Amino acid sequence: MFSPAVEKAYKAQFTFALRNGSARLSINGKTVDALVVEPPITESETRRGRQRGTKRAIVGALKSDLPTLPSPGTRAKLDAWTCVVAEEGIEEEPLTWRITLRSP
C-alpha cells in the first residue's frame, strides 16, 4: 500500500510528536505509546434529574504497534485511567488509528 520510505517517515513524525503529548495505552493485552490528540476531560450530562460526569479522550496509535482493531466497549487503560473504547469507536487513517476513549 505505502512504500517503506513513506512508512518510515510517518513513524518518524509520529515519534517526534510523542515528545509533546504521549501516554501509555494498554488495550487488548498490549501496551503502546499513544499520541494524546485530546486530553482526558470531564463532560457532565443530566439523566433523569441526576448529573453525571463522563471523562473522554482521543488518542492516536500506529497500526504497526496496534495491529488489531479494538471494538467499541473494549477495556483500555490510558496511563492510570481505566476506560473503554467509546461507541463512536475508531477512525481509521492510512497508518494510524484515532481512538475515542470514555469512562466505563
pTM (2 d.p.): 0.84
CA angle, 88 then 79 then 17, to 5°? 75
HEC secondary structure over 47-75: ECCEEEEEEEEEEEEECCCCCCCCCCCCE
Domain boundaries, the chain: 4-102
Question: Parallel, antiparallel, or unpaired for β 22-27 and 75-78?
Answer: antiparallel
Cell numbers placing 36: 494524546
pLDDT tens digits along 49-94: 777 788 999 999 999 898 888 899 999 999 999 999 999 878 988 8
Mention the CATH class of domain 4-102.
Answer: mainly beta
Phi/psi at 84 (5° precision):
-135, 160
